[in-house]
Amino acid sequence: MGKIRDSVDVRALRFAVGFPLMLAAAFVVCALLIRADLPEPLAVRWTGDGAADFAPFGAVVGVGAGLIVLVGWAVLLQAAPLSRPALMRRFMMGTGLAVSLFVTTVLAAVLVGQLGLADARESRVDVAVLAMGSGAALGLGVVMGFVFKADERWSAEDERAAREALEKALDPQLARDTVSLWVHARSSVFVMLGIATLFPAALLTVAVPWLAALLVAAALLVAVFLFARIRVDRNGLRVFAAGFLRVMDVPAAAIESATPKEVKAADYGGWGYRNHGATTAMLVSSGPAVVVDRSDGRRLTVSGGSPTTADNVAQVLSRVADRARRDGGAPASQP
């Protein structure tokens, strides 16, 4: 039950389930009250020449009530999940109310149009009931959309944000021990990559379209992996190739030293992720980098962007490593 309350607005769920049921029940009761004044069978479809199809009273009322419930549930239940934006939940609640009332209005117009007739072939849908009911359904739906209070509930993300804010408030130095940055290859590299792939792909489009598409896809894949995201905090160093694929994860307690340094990508096997023996590198270009020596003898090198950012990353890594050693953190093995 707790999990349901964390993911669903219980009050909206109660209304979404209960309102169509109550509306269908009201329709059935009203239909039974005027049963004596209705013909048997009832007309359910009309053409230019009059009523074309007929059905027994019980079938019309039963199917109509079921239609009210199913249509109402199908739309109103979309307003219950808390994971959806508040604006969308308001819209679905108002739309669900309007659609439920409109379906009821159509059914009521069908019945009222046959009141007092001995033969349903002479009947027509009551336009007045249909018009007034449709207008009321639309108006009430708009009102419901505005008055429905789609409150944002406390979520796991809120809990995480509150915990981080509390940690920063209790430890003002925490912000100094956190660095997050993106590094990427030089713009000239992307220009050369485009010239080497997009121009040939344009020529191949006429003769071999699938090969041109494959060449463009390969170029985009290479370009994406010339980006990297670096995250440094008190847990240590994490590096994500293309921004999402984690290729390095070094606990703070496992860092022996961190030094800014000018490097050449060719010395490490080229751009991208490289792993040779005790040396691991994630370089998107030659130039400023951070060299991290681990306590187990391994060495990692990652691009630092500019000399200033590389120096800042090295300082923060050294600081969090010293703090981890003072706190008695045990070096953890790299996954």
- Summarize pLDDT for 71-82 with one digit per residue, the tens: 999 998 888 888
Q: Torsion angle of alpha carbons 115, 120, 122, 127, nearest 10°?
A: 50
pTM: 0.51
Between CA 174 and CA 167 the distance in angstroms is: 8
Q: Are 28 and 57 in contact (CB under 8 A)?
A: no
Question: Which of 274, 215, 205, 278 has its CA nearest to residue 241?
Answer: 274
CATH 2.30.29.30 domain locations along the chain: 163-185+226-326
Which residues are registered as beta bridge partners of 279?
Answer: 276, 299
Q: What are phi and psi of 143, to 5 degrees?
A: -60, -45
Specify the pLDDT at position 74: 92
For the segment 151-169, the average pLDDT, to the nearest whole number, is 70
Between CA 122 and CA 47 the distance in angstroms is: 12
The pLDDT-based confidence of 151 (bands split at 50, 70, 90) is: low
The pLDDT-based confidence of 331 (bands split at 50, 70, 90) is: very low
| Cα distances (Å, whole numbers) of residue 156 to 11, 86, 114, 150 | 21, 17, 56, 18
Strands 179-184 and 227-233: antiparallel
CATH class of 163-185+226-326: mainly beta
Average pLDDT of the chain is 85
Helix (H) or strand (E) holding 248: strand 245-251
Between CA 211 and CA 205 the distance in angstroms is: 8
pLDDT tens readout for residues 173-231: 777 788 999 999 988 888 888 888 877 877 777 677 888 888 888 889 988 999 999 99
Specify the pLDDT at position 1: 47
Model confidence at 149: pLDDT above 90: no
